[in-house]
Chains A and B, each alone.
Chain A
């Protein structure tokens, strides 16, 4: 089990290396990459905005109960924004994107694999990694990064709206304490996580689709594996990124 998992991880890293090498020369395919990014954004923007908004709103609800116990309601905005930007927002929105973008991509690539389109590309003189994987891989990274950032922005608005309507905190007070807690480093931390999570989603979902072997059942298995492995990898990546970033701030 452990050996098989390590073998799988090794294969995944080798795949990532191959994709990154191929991606280096992908500037001439920028229009296709832009199109893929745009497609992913169009497919997921509404869901991400919706989810982001409610993440902020839920966080406000939860923190309201806590800070009221200590008569520290004026810190609500700072706490909600800090927790959302640094931790909860990127992770929850990445989960959502892994289900939406990741499942779509792994199913699409898996179907191309079992219907012999990938083999046909090789036989017709091209490299499927360069032709098929790289545009999707970079498209997902660019789009996920944009969507995660956009989701975080809306989580801020969700938190603000909930604070003014439910918690009874004027918006000026909600905003006033944010600069004290949410530093440039907090925002950088959120941005770095958005990038890392985008990379995780793009890598696992394209890999799972590309390595499907068999028929329709195996495509289904590949999609399920992509979804579950991406979520586990996101949690691990979150812990690892936090560990590194907190380490940096303490240096």
Chain B
């Protein structure tokens, strides 16, 4: 929970273009778990090419927020529009959005009974109905990009945590998503593995991918994000450009949070 894995590479900021096109539009979204009001009046507009880092204390609803974007969680009030499609209980829209939005989980959630390659080709072959050859070629391409192509025939259980998370990223990319969601992708990793995963995420940012990351890697937030969102108790408390956010936080709660995670 700190700057431990500061990225030691120069990021080509010129590649980080943000377009005017809107990728995600959330308006006055509310969610309850039973009686518990987890998300309160969330409004957020994400343009294509934005890299947003969401942070906040545990239980603040940040994971729930991004899980609402691909409907792993259902919201009860307000609207979420992803890629021009409004999320409703229509299963067809949900499946369409899910195949456009990639997601990486804290615990990777690779399929342990399938090889790395099969993990990557499964969704293209069964959801997009691509021929095996084509799916495998693209899978190898992405596995190479996350620098793990030599492990393609192994099973996830034989890889380290960092390698598994990189495979998980490649698996999402194989569906050619236009938006990537990251739910604490480095929280379950050892320090030395955090860097290899962050490297892959920086590469991804440089391709112009729209990214929303729930993470405590403040080094990543500083260097890659164009916007940092701070959440507490189900609300968005503050959002700003990283420079301003870290150097000049406005809200007391933000100040407290930053002092806690940056103090050591």
* A pairs with B: no
